[in-house]
Amino acid sequence: MKLRIKFAKEGLMQYVGHLDLMRCFQKAIVRAKLPVAYSAGFHPHQILSFAAPLGIGLCSDAEYFDLELTEPVETDRVIVNLNAQMPEGLAVKDAVYLAEGAKNAMSLVAACDYVITADRSDFDYSVFAGWTALRTLLISKKTKKAERTIDILPMIYVFQPEENRIVTRLASGSAANLKPAEMMEALTKALGFDCGGEDFLYRRTEIYAKKEDGGFVPLGEATGGA
Amino acid sequence: MRKTALTHRQLMSVEKPARYIGNERNSVIKDPDKMKTRFVMCFPDVYEIGMSYLGIQIIYDLLNQRESTYCERVYSPWLDLDALMRKEQIPLFSLETQTPVRQFDFLGITLQYEMCYTNILQVLDLSGIPLYAKDRTEEDPLVIGGGPCAYNPEPIADFFDLFNFGEAESTMDAIMDCYEACKDKGLGRMETLKALAQVPGVYVPAFYDVTYNSDGTISAFTPNCSEAPAVVKRQLPADLKGSVYPVKPVVPFIQVTQDRMVLEIQRGCIRGCRFCQAGMVYRPLRERSLEELKAYALELFANTGYDEITLSSLSSSDYRYLPELIDFLIEQLGSRYVNISLPSLRIDAFSLDVMHRVQDVKKSSLTFAPEAGSQRMRDVINKGLDEETILEGAKNAFAGGWNKVKLYFMLGLPTETEEDIKGIAYLSEKIAECYYDLPKEQRSGRCQVTASSSFFVPKPFTPFQWAKMDRKESFLEKAAIVHQTFLEQKNRKSLKYNWHEADLSVLEGIFARGDRRLSAVIERAYRKGAKFDAWSEYFIPEYWEQAFAECSVDPDYYVHRERSYEEILPWDFIDIGVSKAFLIRENEKAKQGKVTAHCRKVCAGCGAVSFKGGVCVETAD
Ligand code: SF4
């Protein structure tokens, strides 16, 4: 049986990279004595998969991983036991059992919400109002083979400057993936500001799967079977 | 969120910022305001190396068990942060509370290898602590050193306020108690050091004067105040049973070099290899009890969640309860998906059987450390390993399914001849032949025998402490001869030979047996930019060549001359428990190629019996 775990990552933990975070959870799961399933072979590993890696320096309210157990444990107990093992800056928020045949978290990822704030307090967010006039937003992406120019405008589903922050929803996952810092770097350049992606702080607030009707549903609710 | 010393922007501009944030599992958080003593423990190399070292975990645990003391950690900032800290004038800080190092009462520095000496200066410099002890004030911490390189502290003596000779379990409490008593009395730095100098095992370099003869050798090494003892004796727990064990080690976020649980099964060694400093300065061998080790293993697992455990000791095969311990680990931890790694095992029927049970034979390689190619040479170094045993081990290993073997050797050993070094290739060839002698159906393809040689560096407190070290050119010539001999072997396609760079070994040799005149050279090299010398890609020999020349110090004096038994050696004032008479005896036997049996066969009377513990008083039970 598979569980989808939702957790928040912030404070000092934003400086711990994705692979290290995985290792941190693997150890916590062992210490919490959860009946986790292991793969076969000479080097068995826990059957555990994360939805979407979060870059170093980003906080998040909603990260997800799927975990296979060998026997059922009450979800409340999973949450309490795991939280007893969490370092400051990591908190398990929820755990839900997946229905038989449910898709894994990673394959579901379609979009992410981010809240973006400038790293200085006197920043005027209204300057971004002009973004609606853009018809394309080009960036060059390096792949293994070559460098190519792509238009990231279609990957920006929502971009909403507010009084003291920007709220966005960006394409995410294997088909199209846009990182918020990448977007801000391109946007500030296109609008001619003298700042760049590294001048903002980013917080992921949700990860979504796509619904049949084209709408988005948080991964924590996309736990049904096929 | 706990405060970080670095800003978000600074953290984001360096590689692996998690090196600098603390917050790891089992790191200790105390209220610094309620502490009498704040100690920051440093391993002067990058986090991933420093965090792999059990000794710091022992000291960390030991000090934090004291109610009045708070021990934190610090490591060398990597080159990117180093540059940023200099540019933006950020003082070096501890991991736990992110407090500037200069605000601590003590900065403890562990000395595991000579090539970290410039990193000591890096740590002091970035902390804003004067490099030389004589320039420090009441505002600076006491800088205390310990660890294997402390057994010749002289090249770095000027940078330290004090050294601790011995194992933390038997010295740290006494040092802290003494310090706290001084603090209560409101004593100043000098008075405090005078009190500390009287704690057994403590050496305060400023309290000793060294004078030299015209040929550069030491003419006298004498205390200059009544508080300093003429001879400082190494302190150690006679018995490890019942001593504390760090069962709640700090678990790093980032992958470190030794990313696993460490079970120290014993300390010291019975073997008496004549080149090996650890084998002498940790005498006598002291075993931990089987019952305690079993309990520690389970606690370590419960407290860390690691998926691997390793045994730590100089020679694991000599632990008398090894079979029982390994059975226990396989049963209790192997069943919970924990890998068991077994370094420093002698290859014999037992160890092959065990390795079969814990590793994937096809993927793993077996390691032998014959150290020398010819039997004569192995007898000179008292390796206690004959060719027959090596070949027997290899045969069994190949029959057991292994086809990769690693061999470790040294070049430049005392009395070495060309025949001896060619022996490295001959022995490797014989091992390969063992493989091809197997019936074809027992083989799987070609075997791979990889021999590596390092250059022999004479170390203090070994029978070879008087020996002349080879020159760089001679090392490289020897390596070339060995290489050529490999190419002449029948099975050369199955053999591979690697050798180390010689520059680093020569510098290591200079520091290993150096004296106080070297501190100026180390400082000069550091000022030129030398740091992370242990990392061959960052080691710049020119800095050192210039530093020696500018300080008018002749490096050859320290390495390329045979010392006489009468000469006062810089480390002679330390009593490590093994007597000079024994070392002389062993050196003479080495010259005659005579071996000395190990402690369990017959006591060689090394002197360590004075500690009244371990193998010296062991009864078969
Ligand atoms: S005194 Fe004897 S038994 Fe003890 S360490 Fe020395 S040689 Fe070994």
Listed in sequence order, the DSSP H helices in B186-289 are: 189-196, 278-281
Q: In the predicted model, is pLDDT for residue A12 greater than 90? A: yes
Predicted model pTM: 0.95
Which chain A residues are Cβ-neighbours of B337 within 8 angstroms? 38, 44
pLDDT of residue B620: 57
Q: Which residues contact B571 (CB under 8 A, 6 or more apart)?
A: B151, B152, B153, B154, B460, B461
Which chain A residues are Cβ-neighbours of B255 within 8 angstroms? 19-20, 23
Q: Which residues contact A77 (CB under 8 A, 6 or more apart)?
A: none
pLDDT of residue A190: 92
pLDDT of residue A226: 62
pLDDT of residue A94: 97
pLDDT of residue B119: 98
Q: Which residues contact B291 (CB under 8 A, 6 or more apart)?
A: none
Q: In CATH, what number does A2-97 get?
A: 3.30.70.580
pLDDT of residue B1: 65
Q: 3-state class of B185 per DSSP?
A: helix
Distance of CA B448 to the CA centre of its chain: 30
CA atoms within 13 A on the CB side of B388: 0
Q: Atom 8 (ligand 1): residue with closest C-alpha?
A: B599
pLDDT of residue B577: 96
Which chain B residues are Cβ-neighbours of A82 within 8 angstroms? none
B81: enclosing H helix or E strand: helix B79-88
Q: Atom 3 (ligand 1): residue with closest C-alpha?
A: B616
Do the two domains A2-97 and A109-217 of this chain adopt the same fold?
yes
**CA B43–ligand 1 middle distance (angstroms):** 31
> Using CB atoms, which residue from B251, B254, B363 is nearest to A27?
B251
Q: How far apart are CA B569 and CA B34, in angstroms?
A: 45
The values of phi and psi at residue B117, to 5°, are -60, -40
Q: Atom 5 (ligand 1): residue with closest C-alpha?
A: B284
Does B599 contact ligand 1 (Cβ within 6 A)? yes
Tens of pLDDT, residue by residue over A108-139, are 999 999 999 998 888 999 889 888 889 999 99
Whether A35 has its CB under 8 Å from any CB of chain B: the answer is no
Q: In CATH, what number does B8-233 get?
A: 3.40.50.280
Q: How far apart are CA B481 and CA B420, in angstroms?
A: 11
Which chain B residues are Cβ-neighbours of A23 within 8 angstroms? 253, 255
Pocket test for ligand 1, best of B266, B596, B606 (most atoms within 8 A of CB): B606
Please report the residues numbered 58 through 97 in chain A whose beta carbons come closer than 8 angstroms to any beta carbon of chain B: 85, 87-89
Most A-contacting residue of B23, B48, B97 (CB-CB within 10 A), to test interface: B23
B202: enclosing H helix or E strand: strand B202-203
Distance of CA B169 to the CA centre of its chain: 17
Listed in sequence order, the DSSP H helices in B273-348 are: 278-281, 290-304, 322-332
**B305, A27: Cβ pair inside 8 Å?**
yes
Q: 3-state class of A65 per DSSP?
A: strand
Nearest 5°: the CA angle B533, B513, B119 is: 25
Does B427 contact ligand 1 (Cβ within 6 A)? no
Distance of CA B446 to the CA centre of its chain: 36
| b/e B63-100 (16+ beta carbons within 10 angstroms → b) | bbebeebbbbbbbbbbbebbeebeeeebebbbbbbbbe
Does B606 contact ligand 1 (Cβ within 6 A)? yes
For chain B (length 621 residues), average pLDDT per consecutive 10?
A: 90 97 97 97 97 94 97 98 98 98 98 96 98 98 96 98 95 97 97 98 98 96 97 96 92 95 96 96 96 97 97 94 95 94 83 83 83 96 93 91 93 97 97 94 90 97 97 94 96 95 93 97 98 94 97 96 97 97 98 96 96 88 51
- What CATH topology corresponds to A109-217? Alpha-Beta Plaits (3.30.70)
Q: How far apart are CA B526 and CA B547, in angstroms?
A: 9
Q: How far apart are CA B378 and CA B467, in angstroms?
A: 17
Does B608 contact ligand 1 (Cβ within 6 A)? yes
**B9, A17: Cβ pair inside 8 Å?**
no
Tens of pLDDT, residue by residue over B68-122, are 999 999 999 999 999 999 999 999 999 999 999 999 999 999 999 999 999 999 9
Q: For residue B209, which amino acid is it?
A: D
> Using CB atoms, which residue from A23, A56, A88 is nearest to B23?
A88
Pocket test for ligand 1, best of B318, B615, B618 (most atoms within 8 A of CB): B615
Of A78, A72, A85, whose CA–CA distance to A25 is shortest? Answer: A85
Q: How far apart are CA B397 and CA B356, in angstroms?
A: 10
The domain locations on chain A are: 2-97, 109-217
**CA B576–ligand 1 middle distance (angstroms):** 13
CB A178 within 8 A of CB A150: no
Count of beta carbons in the 10 Å neighbourhood of residue B462: 24
Distance of CA A178 to the CA centre of its chain: 11
**A25 to chain B: nearest residue by CA?**
B305
Q: Which residue would you say has higher pLDDT here, B53 or A225?
A: B53
